[in-house]
């Protein structure tokens, strides 16, 4: 069909391979007036080189990304892109069995493109000029990113002191076996995937994001759902990080914001009540943040603050066991820097019951909780029904200030004898603890008059209040002082009774 071709760029990778094959096929390559000029030049040079060619011969380029318009002003033009990667160390045999995209605007041009491809030993297929971007993106993913994958995989083999070249026969095998998916994700073996993630985090943290993105895409192919990052890592017991500053916590949260964040605010001295909140957060959120801060502004009385039990080491151990990802244990100055003067006041709800007896208490609670919300930006925040009025105050803050936080309030956890668990229970002597039991018994009647009567009869207890509070749900709530320790408790009057 065509007997003479001038290859422009014959010294390059594609140009030299193509020239060698054309010579093998008996095509004349050195004529001054060839029938076809084949541009094997870099993409950005095509338009300039094409413009310099005198009209007459067919003009073709071998680029996958470049539209035919780059060959203006030539009307006899065609694109023929070998979908191959070329190496200068190999000869024309590297063309054998390859595919080639032919882009043509008419039958004559198509015939030239098909002829050229077949003469080179390629299998032609048609590519519309307008679909080049998708075609080329696919080609780049398959060829260039394979290099990226080999690099990433090789760097992991180096961690194991294994030569990266060992991967090559594996990679070839995957292609030769028709891209059949095998391995841990195909099997749903998440423990193995978790082990991969652990070593990557430790040795090659720069690969974590790539590994996760590929794992997610691979799970889709396998028809499985990849467990969330934290569940995966939890399978081997991930470390709990302790952050002392706001900046440190924000930094640690930065790459976790794609998933859901749960916040459990505590003042420490953890017991089963706190742990129930942590467990709920662990099962519902990708990342669990527990704050550990004895907030001075919610204590009215200095002695009470000084006496509040503290045991950070034990708390951190329990947080670790409960699968907490981040513990935020800030200093006083971090939460109340010098000059601090911004307060959140829930005016009515914050001044009844507990608020009446402890003026300023809920102002301290609402302020610190809002600050924690601003720092952590949780999807969900976990509170105990034990502090029913506190939960109600936070609900009000969330509503009034239109915060995007889901409030989760969990039932009261009690000891076998009915006493609601509280960090303050540690301050009771055994005799005081015995006397304190009347509070839960009285509230357990779910009857205001009976409860008041029972408490009036109990010797040595000072009753601060026993009231029905119209919270959500309504509760029978009470506060008593036993010796120098103040205890609060409540029983919901609607919905599930607290066991």
In the complex, the smallest distance separating the C-beta of residue 413 from ligand AMP, rounded to whole angstroms, is 4
Q: Does 486 bind ligand AMP (CB under 6 A)?
A: no
Q: Does 371 bind ligand AMP (CB under 6 A)?
A: no
In the complex, the smallest distance separating the C-beta of residue 329 from ligand AMP, rounded to whole angstroms, is 13
Toward ligand AMP, which CB reaches closer, 230 or 390? 390
- Give the residue among 273, 266, 243, 244 at the shortest CA–CA distance from 256: 243
Determine the size of the site formed for ligand AMP (CB under 6 A): 17
Local structure of residue 5 (DSSP, 8 states):
E
Q: Of these, 273, 330, 364, 492, which contacts ligand AMP (CB under 6 A)?
A: 273
> How many whole angstroms separate alpha carbon 126 and alpha carbon 110?
9
Toward ligand AMP, which CB reaches closer, 18 or 421? 421
User: Which 206-265 residues touch ligand AMP, going by CB under 6 A?
Assistant: none
- Give the residue among 388, 387, 409, 407 at the shortest CA–CA distance from 397: 407
Toward ligand AMP, which CB reaches closer, 58 or 308? 308
Cα–chain center distance at 208: 11
Active-site residue, selected from the candidate residues 61, 81, 274, 361: 274
Q: Which helix (H) or strand (E) holds 58?
A: strand 58-61
Toward ligand AMP, which CB reaches closer, 58 or 299? 299
Give the count of beta carbons closer than 10 Å to the beta carbon of residue 331: 10
Mark 371-394 as b/e (b = at least 16 C-beta within 10 Å): bbbebbbbbbbbbbbbbbbbbbbb
Toward ligand AMP, which CB reaches closer, 233 or 413? 413
Instruction: Write down the residue that tokens 């090659």 correspond to.
Output: 204
**Which residues are 82's β-sheet partners?**
100
Q: Does 277 bind ligand AMP (CB under 6 A)?
A: yes
User: Which 382-401 residues touch ligand AMP, going by CB under 6 A?
Assistant: 383-384, 386-387
In a 3-state reduction of DSSP, which class is residue 310? coil
Largest CA distance in the chain: 119
Q: Mask of contacts with ligand AMP, 11-50, x by CB under 6 A?
A: ----------------------------------------
Angle at 436 between CA 433 and CA 438, to 5 degrees: 135
274: annotated active-site residue: yes
Q: Does 266 bind ligand AMP (CB under 6 A)?
A: yes
In this chain, which stretch among 38-46, 342-350, 410-418, 468-476 interacts with ligand AMP, using CB under 6 A? 410-418
Q: Does 420 bind ligand AMP (CB under 6 A)?
A: yes
DSSP E strand stretches across 371-449: 380-384, 406-410
Strands 380-384 and 406-410: parallel
Strands 58-61 and 475-482: unpaired
In the complex, the smallest distance separating the C-beta of residue 248 from ligand AMP, rounded to whole angstroms, is 22
- Give the residue among 256, 227, 244, 228 at the shortest CA–CA distance from 377: 256
Q: Does 367 bind ligand AMP (CB under 6 A)?
A: no
Q: Of these, 109, 242, 267, 346, which contacts ligand AMP (CB under 6 A)?
A: 267
Closest-approach residue to ligand AMP (CB): 384
Q: Does 421 bind ligand AMP (CB under 6 A)?
A: yes
Active-site residue list? 274
Which residues make up the interface to ligand AMP (CB under 6 A)? 266-267, 273-274, 276-277, 383-384, 386-387, 410, 412-413, 420-423
């Amino acid at each position: 069909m065509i007997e003479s071709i001038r290859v422009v760029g014959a010294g390059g990778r594609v140009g030299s391979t193509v020239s060698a094959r054309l010579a093998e096929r008996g095509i004349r390559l050195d004529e001054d007036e060839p029938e076809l000029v084949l541009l094997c030049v870099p993409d950005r040079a095509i338009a300039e080189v094409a413009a310099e060619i005198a009209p007459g011969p067919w003009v073709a380029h071998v680029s996958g990304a470049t539209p035919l318009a780059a060959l203006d002003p030539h009307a006899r033009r065609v694109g023929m892109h070998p979908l191959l990667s070329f190496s200068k160390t190999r000869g024309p045999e590297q063309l054998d069995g390859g595919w080639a995209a032919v882009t043509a605007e008419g039958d004559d041009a198509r015939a030239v493109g098909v002829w050229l491809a077949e003469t080179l030993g390629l299998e032609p297929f048609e590519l519309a000029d307008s679909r080049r971007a998708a075609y080329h993106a696919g080609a780049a993913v398959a060829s260039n990113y394979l290099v990226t994958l080999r690099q990433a995989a090789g760097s992991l083999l180096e961690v194991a002191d294994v030569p990266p070249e060992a991967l090559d026969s594996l990679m070839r095998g995957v292609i030769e076996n028709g891209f059949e998916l095998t391995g841990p994700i195909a099997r749903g073996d998440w423990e193995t995937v978790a082990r991969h993630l652990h070593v990557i985090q430790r040795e090659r943290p720069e690969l974590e994001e790539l590994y996760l993105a590929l794992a997610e895409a691979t799970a889709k192919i396998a028809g499985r759902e990849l467990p969330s990052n934290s569940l995966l890592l939890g399978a081997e017991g991930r470390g709990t990080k302790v952050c002392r500053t706001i900046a440190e916590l924000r930094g640690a949260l930065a790459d976790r914001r794609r998933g859901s964040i749960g916040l459990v605010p505590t003042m420490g001295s953890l017991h089963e009540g706190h742990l129930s909140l942590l467990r709920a957060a662990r099962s519902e959120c990708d990342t669990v943040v527990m704050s550990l801060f004895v907030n001075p502004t919610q204590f009215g009385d200095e002695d009470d603050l000084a006496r509040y039990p503290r045991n950070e080491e034990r708390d951190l151990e329990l947080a670790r066991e409960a699968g907490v990802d981040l513990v935020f244990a800030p200093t006083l100055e971090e939460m109340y820097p010098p000059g601090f003067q911004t307060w959140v006041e829930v005016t009515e709800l914050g001044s009844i019951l507990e608020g009446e007896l402890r003026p300023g208490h809920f102002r301290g609670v609402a302020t610190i909780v809002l600050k924690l919300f601003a720092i952590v930006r949780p999807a969900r925040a976990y509170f105990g029904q034990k502090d029913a009025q506190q939960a109600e105050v936070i609900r009000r803050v969330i509503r009034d200030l239109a915060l995007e936080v889901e409030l989760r309030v969990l039932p009261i956890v009690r000891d076998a004898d009915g006493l609601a668990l509280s960090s303050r229970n540690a301050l009771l002597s055994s005799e005081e603890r015995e006397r304190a039991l009347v509070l839960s018994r009285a509230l357990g009647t779910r009857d205001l008059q009976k409860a008041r009567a029972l408490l009036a009869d109990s010797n040595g207890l000072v009753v601060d209040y026993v009231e029905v509070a119209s919270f959500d749900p309504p509760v029978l709530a009470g506060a008593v002082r036993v010796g120098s320790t103040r205890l609060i408790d409540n029983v919901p009057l609607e919905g599930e009774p607290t066991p």
